[in-house]
Structure 1
Amino acid sequence: MPDTKYFVYFPHPLYPADITFKVPHGSKRMLSSLLRDALQDRLNMSFASHFDPTDFTFYKLNDLAINPIATLLERTGEWLCEHREEAGRKLLRSQDVGTIFPEGIDIQNVHLLLVTPLILKNLDDTRELEVDVREAMLEREEKTSHIRRLLPTPSDGVSSAGVPKVVNNHNDCFHAGRPDDNYGPPVALFNPTLGLLAYHLRHIDSDIPMIEPSDDDCLKTHGFMVEALSSSDNEEARLSCIAISLNALFCGWHLSWDKTISGSRSSGVFGGSPPFGILEVKSEAGLDGDASLRAGLSYAKMITDNADWLVRRRRDRSNCPAILISSMGDLLEIGIAVHTDGVHTDWIFSERLRLGFYRNENVLRIARVFKAVQIAVQDLSKFYANIDTKPHVDSAVSHLFPSPLTVPTYEGSVPSLTFTHRMGRHSGLLYLYHMPFKLTKLRRSGLYTAILSKPSGADDAPDQELDVVVKFTAEYNAEAHRILADAGLAPALHACVPVCDRLFMVVMDWVEGETLETFKRQGERVPYSVYADVKTAIELLHQHDLVFGDLRPSNIQCVCTSGGAESSDHWRTVLIDFDWAGINGRSFYPPVLDEPQRCWAPDTVQPRGLMQKEHDLKMLEPLKKLCHPNLDDA
C-alpha cells in the first residue's frame, strides 16, 4: 500500500504555506512528531521561519477544497470563522494521525490546518483593518530582511570605511540621528520602560527616591569609575579590567561576556536569551571604532535574525525595546532602541567619568544612572517573559505606534487612545506603515490619528468614540489652543499631557478640510471669510497678551461643508499649530527656522527673536492676498 499524504495548510496572513505529512501505511505517527519532521525538512524552510512551535493548534478539515489555490487563504479564513468552535475540530498534538480520518481522506481537500494565535487574531479584525494590518506586517518583515541584508557587521560598520556607509548609504533603515534629518519620534515614546529610563536619566540630579542608590551601590560604582579611569593596552585588557566591577553592578542582569549573537560578537549582552541589552567596550573613545554605534548595529543584527524563532515571535508582538551601554575609556553612554519602521536608537546619557574634587557628587550621579538602568532591566525582563509565554492579545500592529508614559510628577487624567495611523506633518497623508517613495521625511512626523474613548455620562450607555489627532511635540501652548478652541477657531483640545521623554502629547479633534497651503499651491483663492476668521483668532489671542507667531498657510485649516472655493456660506477656519505661541514681549521664536518659515515673514520672524503682536498683524497681510476680495468693501 502506498504512503498516505496529508495536506496540511498554514494560513498565516502574510506567509501562508502548505506542507505534507507522509505516513507509511499501517504506521502510527503523532501529529507533533510529523510536525517536528516537517520543521527539519529543508524544503519547508520558509514555513519554519514564520512558525512558532510553542503556540499552535491543529484543526481537522477534509471538507475544504485545495483548488483554486489562489483563494485558499481567504476560504480558510472563512472556514475558521464558521467552524473553529465546533466539537471535534481541534486536535491534540499527541493524537495519532491514523485515527483522525477513519473513513479515509479526499486527496483534493485540505486535511489539517495549523493555526497560531496571530492567525486567529487576524480573523477577529474587521476586513478593512485586516488588509491594512496585513500590508503593514508584510512591509515590516520585508524591511527587516532589507536591514539585515544591507547593514554591515558591527565590526565593519564602525571602521573608518564603514561609518560613512552606515550614515550615508543605509539611513533608510538605521536611524541614529545621522545625517541630521535621519530620525523619527523619540524612542522613549514606544515603550513605557524606556520612557521611564529616559526620564530618570534626564533628571539624574533630581532627588528621585526610586533611583536613589544604596551604600553598596555607591561603593561598587566608585570601583567601576576607578577602573574606567585607568588605561589599557587593548580592548581585551580593558574588558578584563572593568569586568569584575561591572559584574558586581549588573548582578541579576544575566550578563554574559564576549558573546556572539546572531552572528555578531559583542563585548557583553544581558537580559537572558535572546538578550535585550547590549554592552560594548572600547579601550578608549576614538580608538577601534565607536562603541555606541557598534551597540546599535549589534542590536539591528540581533532583532533582524530570522533564524531564531523567539526573536521572530518578539518582533511579531513588540517593537523589541532594548537598552544599549557603551564604555569607551572614561566615556560612559546609555542608549535605548526599538524596531518600528526601521531600527531607531537614542543615546539618553553621555558623560566623561571623573572623580577628583567632586568625586562624591560624581559617584552619586553614576550610581543613580546604574540604578535607573537596573530598574529598566527588571521591567523589560517581565515584559519579555510576558510576550514570550502568553497568547498575543493586542492588535498585530499596536507596537508600531507610541505607548507613551506620562511623567511621574503628572497628576492629571490621561486620555484612553487607540492609535490607527501615522500622519504627514503638512500633507495630511495617512499611512499605517508604508512611507511613499521620496516622502521619507514623514518618518520625522510626530502626528498620529487615533480613536479617543470617553465616558458617555450614562450608566448603561457605551463610551463615546471620537476621531482625534495626536501630536507629540517638545513645546506647546495649551492655553492659546484652548482660548481659540472655546471660540470655535481651533480644534477641540482634549488633552495636553507631559510624557517621557521631554514631550507633550496633544490630543485634539480631527477636523476635515484642507490647509490654506493646499489652495495656495493649487493657485486657488478661498473666501474672504477665511481671512476674517484668522483675523478674529489673532485678535482674541492678543486680548490675552499672546502671540501666535507662526501664521503660515500650512497652519490654517479651511473647512467647507458644502459648495466650493467660490462660496463662503459654509466655510470656517481653524488654527492648528500652537508650538510657537507665546507671551507678547517675553517669549522668543525658535533659534532654528526652516527656509519656508523665513521666507513667509522675513521682516518679522527672526531666529531667537522676541515675539511681538505686531508680527502677527504683519503676517496677516500676505494671507489676505490668498482670499477673494471682501464683497462688503465693493
Structure 2
Amino acid sequence: PPENAHTIPCTLLHPIFGTFIDDCENLEPTPDDNKLAMTLSAVMSGFFTDETARASRFREILQEHNIGMMGTTIDGTAYGPDGDIQHKGFRYAIAEVKSELGSTPAEPHMQAILYYIRFTESFAKAKPTFRFPCIIITLFGPHIDFSAAVWSNRPNMQVISTALPLFHHPTDSKMRAMVARHIGALRKALRSLLACYQGMTSPSLDQDLEFLDSKFQDPMFPYPYSFTCIETSLTCDFTYYNQMDHSRLLFSAVKTTDDKTLCIKFVRRYSKEVHQRCASDGFAPALLGFEQLPGGWYMIVMEMITDDYCRLQEITVPYPHHDALATELQSLHRGGYVHGDIRDTNIIVKKDCSPGFMLVDFDWSGTIGETRYPMNVYQGERLWRPDGAEDGQLILAEHDMQMLHAIFPKGTFV
C-alpha cells in the first residue's frame, strides 16, 4: 500500500532502474530484440497445461536469445523462483511466472520479492554498504512486467513498467515496438547489473556506478553524491547528513571541499528559471546545482536556510511585512512567471519578524500561460485554493495573489 512504501524509490537508490525506464521510452531495439519480442508474443499468447510448462518455455526462449535465465531452488528446499540470473550466487534477475491471470491464489510480485529477500538477506548482513540491485520479471499468462528491487536498510521494490500484453494484434506496430524497447532495456539493465556485481571486489569502470565503491557507503540515501556547480561548472562531492522530512525527498548534506551545509531535494518537475530569478532578487536560497537524473528525476541543490528563519506558519504574531511579499510576487508576475503554490509553508520569514523573507518549493513554478497544475491538487478543509486551481488547469498570476491574501486576515493589504 502507498502508506507503507519507502519514501526513497528504487529509481533513486540505483541509477540502473531510472535508466531502464528511460530506455523503455527511447531505446532503439536491435534486430534480435525485435525477434525476441515477436517470439514471446507468438508463444506466450498460447495456452499451457500448467505454470511449470509456461515457465520452462519462457526460460528456453530467453536462453535462445542469449539471456541466461535458469531455474533454481532455495538451498535446502524444493522451492524457488521460476527463473533467475546470478553472478557467484548473487541474484540480479528473478522471474516469477503464472500460467494465467488468477490461476493461483499467490500474487507473483509478492512471491518474487520474497525470493529476493530470501536470496539476499544474508549477503546484506555481511555487506551492508552494497545495495544489491535486482530486476524482477513477472509473467502472468500472456502479460509481462518489470520491477526493481534494491536493499537499503530494508528490501525495497518498485514496479518500473506497465504490464505489457503479449497477445497484441500482429498489425499493432506501436505495441510491438513498445515490447521490443522493453526487451532492449532489459538486456541493457542486465549488462549493467552484472557489472555491478563483478565490481563488488574491485572498482567499477562505469562512472555511473562508482558510488558502489567504498567512497559512498550509505545505502540509506539516494545514489547521487555529487553535482555540477552552476557558478563554476566544477564537480562538487557531498555527504548526506539526514533526511529532513521523512515524508519528502528532502535531505541535508555537507559539501566535501568546504563543509558548507546543503539542502538536497529530488523532484519530478521544477522551475530552475523561477528559482534563480527569486534568488537573484534575494528572495530564495541560492541555487547551487540542478541535475537531470535517469527516470524523470531532478536533483535540486541549494544553500541551507539559516536558523534565524522559519516557516510563516510557525509565526504566532501578526506578520508585518505582507506588502513586501505582495510586491515580490507582482514583480515575478511582471517578469512572466508564476510561483504556483503560495502557502504559509512555502514562505520563509525571519523568526523575529524583521524584514527579509524567502520563497521556496518551485516545483509548480513556470511561465505564465504555459505552466499547469499537476495531478491530485489538494483543496479542502486544510487548504483553500481559488476557483480554477485544479488538476491540469493553467496556473494564473491571480491564483498566486489570491493564495497570498488568503493567508492573512482581511484588511491586511493596503
The question of a shared fold, defined as TM-score above 0.5 by the shorter chain, is answered with: yes
User: Which of 267, 271, 274 is the matching residue for 1:473?
Assistant: 267
| Closer, same or farther: CA 261–401 of 1 in aligned 2, 3 Å | farther
Whose helix fraction is larger, Structure 1's or Structure 2's? 1
Pick the aligned partner of 2:90 from 260, 264, 274. Answer: 274
What secondary structure sits across from 2:74 in the alignment? strand
Q: Which residue of 1 aligns with 2:12?
A: 189
**Alpha-carbon deviations, 1:153-195, whole Å to 9, x = none?**
xxxxxxxxxxxxxxxxxxxxxxxxx246634233111222223
Q: After superposition, give the CA deviation of every residue in 1:126-172 in whole Å (9 maximum; x if it has no partner).
A: xxxxxxxxxxxxxxxxxxxxxxxxxxxxxxxxxxxxxxxxxxxxxxx
Amino acid at match of 1:287: S
Letter of the structure 1 residue corresponding to residue 338 of structure 2? V
Does 2:408 match 1:612? no
State the partner residue of 1:220. 36
- Asked if 1:599 corresponds to 2:414, the answer is no
Q: CA deviation at 1:473?
A: 0.8
State, as a whole percentage, how many aligned pairs show the same letter.
22
Runs of 4+ in 1 over 6 A off after TM superposition: none
Distance in structure 2 (CA, Å) of the matches to 1:245 and 1:413: 48
Partner of 1:384: 197
Q: How large is the RMSD of aligned CA atoms in angstroms? A: 3.1
Paired position in structure 2 for 1:348: 160
Contact 2:48 2:54 in 1 (8 A): yes
Alignment equivalent of 2:249, drawn from 442, 446, 457: 446
Contact 1:557 1:575 in 2 (8 A): yes
Distance 1:591 1:597 in 2: 19
Higher RCO, Cα 8 Å, sep 6+: 2
Separation of aligned partners in 2, 1:549 and 1:193: 33
State the SS of the aligned residue for 1:225: helix
- Show the 5 A alignment for 1:507-546: 507-512=301-306, 513-519=309-315, 524-525=316-317, 527-529=319-321, 531-546=322-337
Q: How does 1:146-165 map to 2 (within 5 A)?
A: none
Q: Aligned-pair distance for 1:300?
A: 2.6
Structure 2 equivalent of residue 370 of structure 1: 183
Question: Offset at 1:388?
Answer: 4.1
| Contact map agreement 1:184 1:344 (CA 8 A) in 2 | no
TM-score (norm 1): 0.57
The 3-state SS of whatever aligns with 2:182 is helix
- In structure 2, what is the Cα distance between the partners aligned to 1:286 and 1:188? 29
Does the CA-based 8 Å contact 1:269-1:279 persist in structure 2? yes
Residue 317 in structure 1 maps to residue 109 in structure 2: no
Contact 1:604-1:618 within 8 A present in 2 as well: no
Q: Deviation digits for residues 440-491 of structure 1, max 9, x if unmatched?
A: xx2x4111122346xxxxxxxxx54432111111111111111100001001
Structure 1 268/599 Cα, relative in aligned 2: closer, same or farther at 3 Å? same
Contact 1:271-1:377 at 8 Å conserved across structures: no
* Structure 2 residue aligned with 1:87: none
Is the CA contact (8 Å cut-off) linking 1:313 and 1:388 kept in structure 2?
A: no
* CA distance in 1 between partners of 2:399 and 2:119 (Å): 52
Retained in 2: the 8 A contact 1:517–1:553? yes
Once the two structures are TM-superposed, the CA of residue 492 in structure 1 deviates from its matched residue by 0.5
Q: Offset at 1:418? A: 1.9
Cα deviation for residue 493 of structure 1 reads 0.9
Q: 2:291 corresponds to which residue?
A: 497
- Does residue 349 of structure 2 align to residue 558 of structure 1? yes
SS of the residue corresponding to residue 357 of structure 2 reads strand
Question: 2:49 maps to which residue?
Answer: 233
AA of the residue aligned to 1:327: L
Question: 1:261, 1:595 → 2: CA distance?
Answer: 53
The whole-number CA distance in structure 2 between the counterparts of 1:262 and 1:494 is 54
SS class of match (2:285) = coil
Amino acid at match of 1:525: V
1:46-87 deviation per Cα after TM superposition (whole angstroms, max 9, x unaligned): xxxxxxxxxxxxxxxxxxxxxxxxxxxxxxxxxxxxxxxxxx
Say which SS state the counterpart of residue 96 (structure 2) adopts: strand
Could you list the per-position Cα deviations for residues 394-441 of structure 1 after superposition, in whole angstroms to 9, with x for gaps in the alignment?
3542x22112499xxxxx96853423234344xxxxxxxxxxxxxxxx
Task: Say which SS state the counterpart of residue 312 (structure 1) adopts.
Answer: helix
1:62-118 superposed Cα distances (whole Å, 9 cap, x missing partner): xxxxxxxxxxxxxxxxxxxxxxxxxxxxxxxxxxxxxxxxxxxxxxxxxxxxxxxxx
Q: Give CA-to-partner distance per residue, 1:363-407, whole Å, 9 cap, x none.
A: 44333322222222222222122224679623542x22112499x
Does 1:256 pair with 2:77? no
Aligned position for 1:297: 114
Question: Does residue 1:331 correspond to 2:136, yes or no?
Answer: no
* In structure 2, C-alpha distance between the alignment counterparts of 1:420 and 1:356, rounded to whole Å: 50
Q: Distance in 2 between matches of 1:414 and 1:299?
A: 39
Aligned residues: 395
1:487 has 2:290 as partner: no
Q: Which residue of 2 aligns with 1:421?
A: 241
Decide which structure has the larger Cα Rg and report it. 1
Alignment of 1:14-33 (within 5 A): none
Name the counterpart of 2:80: 265
Contact 2:143 2:166 in 1 (8 A): yes
CA shift in 2, pair 1:364/1:611, >3 Å: closer
Q: Distance in 1 between matches of 2:276 and 2:305?
A: 16
Give the letter aligned to residue 346 of structure 1. Answer: Q
Match for residue 547 of structure 1 among 325, 329, 338: 338
The residue type paired with residue 553 of structure 1 is D
Question: Within 2, Cα distance between the matches of 1:185 and 1:533?
Answer: 37
SS of match in other structure, 1:276 = strand
Give secondary structure in 2 for the equivalent of 1:577: coil
Change (3 A) 1:345 1:388: same
Alpha-carbon distance change, 402 to 262 in structure 1, aligned in 2, over 3 angstroms: farther
What residue ranges of structure 2 are gaps of 5+ in the alignment?
A: 204-211, 227-231
Map of 2:214 onto structure 1 = 393
> TM-score if structure 2 supplies the norm length?
0.85
- Structure 1 residues 580 and 364: alpha-carbon distance in aligned structure 2, compared to 1, 3 A threshold: closer
Say which SS state the counterpart of residue 183 (structure 2) adopts.
helix
CA shift for structure 1 position 578: 0.8
Change (3 A) 1:414 1:473: farther
Counterpart residue type for residue 186 of structure 1? P
Task: Identify the range of structure 1 (467-476 vs 614-623) with the bigger mean alpha-carbon deviation.
Answer: 614-623
